[in-house]
Amino acid sequence: MDKPTIQYIIEEAIGSGIEEILIITGRSKRAIEDHFDRSIELEFALESKGKKDLLEQVKDISEMINIHYIRQKQPKGLGHAINCAKSFVGNEPFAVLLGDDIVDAKTKPCLKQLIDVYNEYKTTVLGVQEVSYDDVSKYGIVDGKHIENGVYKVKNLVEKPQKEEAPSNIAILGRYIITPEIFEILDNTKPGAGGEIQLTDALKDLATKQAMYAYNFEGKRYDVGNKLGFLQATVEFALKREDLRDEFLEYLINTIEKETDEVALTKEDEIEI
């Protein structure tokens, strides 16, 4: 749509009460810093053209709160990226939001739901939902016991298991509240699935030392790191926008009708042949 996916994530964090944000970036991702910075030239151009709404939007982004950046120098995995935040985080529990996972929650932002569970249990909480068994090999999977209202006590975790080996279909979907003891563990975590230092492996270790919970959050999650997920999110978010919905819906209906006619014609041709 008209903002990058990372902005949805930052907005979720802010909406959940987070005040300090660290973005772990990497090579050739400077556009992220530029996006959240002030754009004096753009502000001036919008002001002189009298485009007040757009001017406000541009200012809102740069005034969003304190955003800090650290570069992960080598792509050694999610666990390694999280370990880059060690000195920023210090000795406090912290939230992790993965940039590929966008959650559209009805009433309470996904992260706020996890924070509420954290406030009850005062220990690590993983954001989870059930996925199809055909998809378990894409996720960190929880072996847990359901204890109350969508809360599971975590017994074990497996990163990207084969369908046959998965302990359940409860998948970690890019939202975590983690206690700072994870950093000591990450320092010694060896590369796991895909040859990368996996956060799930470090969490598995942490679960043997401290209680850990998983929470089945409310909200539709989109994997914008894959092409189909990105398209689904774009279409569904556009349909929620009052200023676009009617025209876009008409376009979609026409396009689908045209495509369906073409498919029908091709099928008729095949039958004639």
List 168, 169, 179, 200, residue binding ligand G1P (CB under 6 A): 200
Residue type, 32: I
Which of 50, 194 has the CB closer to ligand G1P?
Answer: 194
User: At its nearest, how many Å lie between ligand G1P and the CB of residue 223?
Assistant: 6
Segment near ligand G1P (CB under 6 A); pick from 111-119, 167-175, 181-189, 233-241: 167-175
Q: What DSSP line would sit under 204-249, residue for residue?
A: HHHHHHS-EEEEE--SEEEETTSHHHHHHHHHHHHHT-TTTHHHHH
List 32, 110, 111, 172, residue binding ligand G1P (CB under 6 A): 172
List 18, 95, 171, 197, residue binding ligand G1P (CB under 6 A): 171
**Contact between 237 and ligand G1P per CB under 6 A:** no
Name the β-bridge partners of 25.
Answer: 71
Alpha-carbon gap, residue 242 to 232, rounded angstroms: 18
Which of 46, 223 has the CB closer to ligand G1P?
Answer: 223
Total residues interacting with ligand G1P, rule: CB under 6 A: 14
Segments in the chain forming alpha helices (H): 5-15, 30-36, 40-48, 52-62, 78-83, 86-89, 110-121, 182-187, 199-209, 227-239, 245-272
Q: What mask, x for binding ligand G1P by CB under 6 A, covers residues 25 to 64? A: ----------------------------------------
Alpha-carbon gap, residue 5 to 2, rounded angstroms: 9
List 78, 84, 166, 206, residue binding ligand G1P (CB under 6 A): 78
**Contact between 124 and ligand G1P per CB under 6 A:** no
**Contact between 152 and ligand G1P per CB under 6 A:** no
Which candidate, 31, 38, 36, places its Cα nearest to that of 14? 36
Alpha-carbon gap, residue 113 to 110, rounded angstroms: 5
**Contact between 103 and ligand G1P per CB under 6 A:** no
Site of tokens 């996925």: 131
Which of 59, 76 has the CB closer to ligand G1P?
Answer: 76
Residues that bind ligand G1P (CB under 6 A): 78, 98, 100-101, 139-140, 159, 171-174, 198-200
